[in-house]
Homo-oligomer: A and B are copies of this chain.
């Protein structure tokens, strides 16, 4: 008999929390949870209490005695935890709005995981994840850290290489959506298709889709090309040229469009910023409505409206990993892990996103076949700017940051880069202690 778990969720006041509760409830028969601690900061307290109480009602309705604890005291929560999940956002949606709007002033993509915005989200988040790793080392050294905080690849890499918390697994919902879409395109049940993915977070490709031992990726790709209306939202957005896609013979994720259709994506962002608001601004409104719903004491389940929020499948991903570890199930899950030898063209310390076997000893990525030159090259490029960004975040290294901009295809270079960096540094000043001297120098 294995013991019931203590799970801790940092950023507990997130609007995703009810989905997570649902995930735990669905799996309760084989995944017993004794305590679920939600942790947040003072600014998130109110939201945390709303979702925490909703979660309590949901567990009660399900007849489960899981104890939901809400706290601002992270250390108390971490003590003897079995799993720690992270879904916090440093600076809340206000910071995201800045990441989205400020780069637009430079005619440059403003987005929370790519371009200048993604880099600054990493700069703000990495110091916090390193603090969490430090506390875990002391308070729950054997706990698994399951991270969804974006940019999930960089955060995972920082936690393992600088935070030295090897038991870290990074997750994203993009591969889940892709897997579902590929199965649909092949008219197969999801469980009958073995999809292999490889790449980096938000820059991943499905390279194989086995049905009965035969790779059907070409068939899936052709279907998606020929039936854009039936393709998953992500894919159809992209307007890839069919001959380009066929020359690749792999299926891209939705975020690739930032790199391969940059101009159009930028125009959309500029247009949105003028009209309906940036993504953060839209999400803010959705969240306000959601929290109004959550407050309803009669509500005892995840409301349908949450799906508009955009985080579908996070629950699957996170609870799925906890389940696979707890039950030693060798489940096939796409996760972010340290590369080691998974993708030969990236260095061992890179966090890669790829198909893993998850069991009691963690997530074991499957070795990846040699990649074509064009993909190899793009992966190296994306990895390199992320690696430099992590160095910049950890050491407050302005040179590394300039160089990250220098190789990131979505950011300005040279003098324009220096100006944009300055604007973002000043805007996010309170979350960038490692750049204190630089920011002070800007103000002189």
Q: Chain A: residues with CB nearer than 8 A to chain B?
A: 107, 194, 208, 210, 212-215, 238-241, 243-244, 246-248, 259-261, 263, 325, 330, 332, 339-344, 348, 357, 359-362, 364-370, 372-374, 376-378, 380-381, 384, 387-388, 398-399, 402-403, 406-407, 409, 413-418
Residues in chain B near residue A361, CB distance under 8 A: 194, 208, 210, 213-215
**Which one of B366, B376, B380, B409 contacts A409 once the chains associate, using CB atoms below 8 Å?**
B409
Residues in chain B near residue A215, CB distance under 8 A: 361
Contact B263–A107 (Cβ < 8 Å) = yes
Given contacts A241-B414, A414-B240, A417-B241, is CB(A367)–CB(B370) below 8 Å?
no
Contact A413–B260 (Cβ < 8 Å) = yes
Contact B417–A244 (Cβ < 8 Å) = yes
Contact B418–A241 (Cβ < 8 Å) = yes
Distance of A69 from chain B, by nearest CB (Å): 25
**Which one of B238, B261, B341, B388 contacts A368 once the chains associate, using CB atoms below 8 Å?**
B341
Given contacts A210-B360, A330-B357, A361-B210, is CB(A348)–CB(B370) below 8 Å?
yes
**Which 6 residue pairs spanning A and B have beta carbons closest together?**
A247-B399, A210-B361, A241-B415, A342-B367, A341-B344, A213-B360
Taken together, the copies of this chain in the complex come to 4
Contact B240–A415 (Cβ < 8 Å) = yes
Nearest to A331 among chain B residues (CB) is: B330
Instruction: Kindly name the residue among A370, A373, A387, A399 whose own CB sees the greatest number of chain B CB atoms within 10 A.
Output: A373
C-alpha gap A362/B196 in the complex (Å):
13
Contact B357–A357 (Cβ < 8 Å) = yes
Distance of A95 from chain B, by nearest CB (Å): 25
Contact A414–B384 (Cβ < 8 Å) = no
Given contacts A367-B341, A413-B244, is CB(A213)–CB(B325) below 8 Å?
yes
Instruction: Kindly name the residue among A215, A241, A243, A417 whose own CB sees the greatest number of chain B CB atoms within 10 A.
Output: A241
Instruction: Kindly name the residue among A208, A367, A384 whose own CB sees the greatest number of chain B CB atoms within 10 A.
Output: A367
**Which one of B107, B214, B260, B387 contacts A406 once the chains associate, using CB atoms below 8 Å?**
B260
Contact B194–A360 (Cβ < 8 Å) = yes
C-alpha gap A367/B378 in the complex (Å):
21
C-alpha gap A330/B399 in the complex (Å):
36
Distance of A220 from chain B, by nearest CB (Å): 15
C-alpha gap A398/B402 in the complex (Å):
36
**Which one of B213, B340, B418 contacts A244 once the chains associate, using CB atoms below 8 Å?**
B418
Q: A341-B344, A344-B344, A378-B406 given; name 6 further pairs at CB < 8 Å.
A: A243-B398, A243-B399, A340-B368, A341-B342, A373-B387, A380-B381
C-alpha gap A241/B357 in the complex (Å):
36
